[in-house]
Homo-oligomer: A and B are copies of this chain.
Amino acid sequence: MKISTIEKCTRTSLIINKSIVQNNIQRIWQKTERNGIRLRPHCKTHQSPELVGNWLRDIGVETITVSSLQMAEKFAASGWKDILIAVPINLRELDGLIQLAEKIHLGVFVESAQVAARLAEAEAHQLEIWLKIDSGYGRTGIPSSNAEQILLLAKSCVSFGLNLRGIATHAGHTYKASSEQEIGQAYRDSIQQMLRLQADLIELGIEVEISAGDTPSASLLNGFGPVDELRPGNFVYYDLMQEDIGSCKREDIAVAVACPVLAVHSDRKEVVLHGGGVHLSKEVRKDRNGNPNFGIAYPITEKGWDLTKPGADMIRLSQEHGIMALPNGWSVLPGDLVAVLPVHSCLAANLLKGKEIVI
């Protein structure tokens, strides 16, 4: 049955290797269990309550992270009762957020007094507030160095009667780290800042949880400090970008994009796949020679893809077409399928929603 599912595949699809996903989940789950930390995986990677969502639940995960109200609603409909929307709250969706928070534990990120005032005004007392702290990534959140502003915001939330649950950070700069040591350092720095803030808040009589985490640190570290929860996302699938960082080995990558071969150009040793920017996304990495790389293709097998063969670089990508550099000794024909490991699995999975093949 597994074989025939891939064999029957007629168009560009996402192959999900269930046992690799489950191994990836188990590895991180065991670490967080051992450390007494709640795992709140980010589901924007797979957006799939039916597949990965269920596999997470099977192992015991009870709390998840998403990136929009729509995604929260989808997972809530599938029975999840504790969901954190890990982008600064979208005030345009406040009505919907309040409605959902009547039914489940719904967390949101807040990073300004102005927004807190709006929530108070809307009597959004059910929403669980996480103050978003910037511990070095520089994307969202109040810089942790600005403790005064953070404490003031926490006090405002409390005085407004809002439901302040914690402080949250995402040390996204671990994605730019180039060694386990650098990732460990970035994570520990980030957590120290959070612990200092937590201590300051306790002095004010305000108890908060700490939410942190990202795939590189969750994958490479074994201790996480006294945080309450970790929010890695990509680890369920991994991808070439994570392999580059060192978060995973190539055999841990759990998804590949099955692409029909459209044309073979032996003269220039190139193969045209139906695998372009609308399938793989335009996310790009550098290959070993510093050239742009949009994925690495392997032969399809009944078990998914064959890593024992030399991979073929995806060297150019337009909207629909992907150009694969054909390695010596690998012969493909129009009508064959190949499996492309994506540079960024979250973006490929988003593009191929509804086109999954589970093996």
Residues of A bordering B, CB below 8 Å: 9-11, 44, 67-70, 87-93, 96, 111-112, 114-115, 118, 132, 138-140, 172, 260, 262-264, 268, 272, 274, 277-278, 281-284, 316, 318-321, 323, 333-335, 337, 344, 346-347, 350-351
* B residues near A140, Cβ cutoff 8 Å: 262-263, 272, 321
Q: Is the CB of B274 within 8 A of A90?
A: yes
Docked Cα-Cα span, A64 to B280, in Å, equals: 25
The oligomer's copy count stands at: 2
Output the least CB separation between A354 and chain B (Å): 11
Sort A-B residue pairs by CB-CB distance and give the 9 closest, nearest first: A91-B335, A88-B262, A10-B92, A88-B263, A282-B282, A67-B320, A90-B260, A10-B93, A92-B260
Point out which of A69, A172, A316, A335 has the most chain B C-beta atoms below 10 A from its C-beta. Answer: A335
Output the least CB separation between A136 and chain B (Å): 14
Output the least CB separation between A273 and chain B (Å): 10
Point out which of A69, A90, A350 has the most chain B C-beta atoms below 10 A from its C-beta. Answer: A90
Q: Is the CB of A89 within 8 A of B262?
A: yes
Partner of A11, one of B69, B172, B282: B69
Partner of A114, one of B11, B114, B334: B334
* B residues near A90, Cβ cutoff 8 Å: 10-11, 260, 262, 274, 335
Docked Cα-Cα span, A347 to B90, in Å, equals: 24
Residue of B nearest to A321 (CB): B139
* B residues near A132, Cβ cutoff 8 Å: 263
Residue of B nearest to A264 (CB): B112
Output the least CB separation between A324 and chain B (Å): 12
Q: Is the CB of B277 within 8 A of A281?
A: yes
* B residues near A277, Cβ cutoff 8 Å: 281, 283, 344, 347
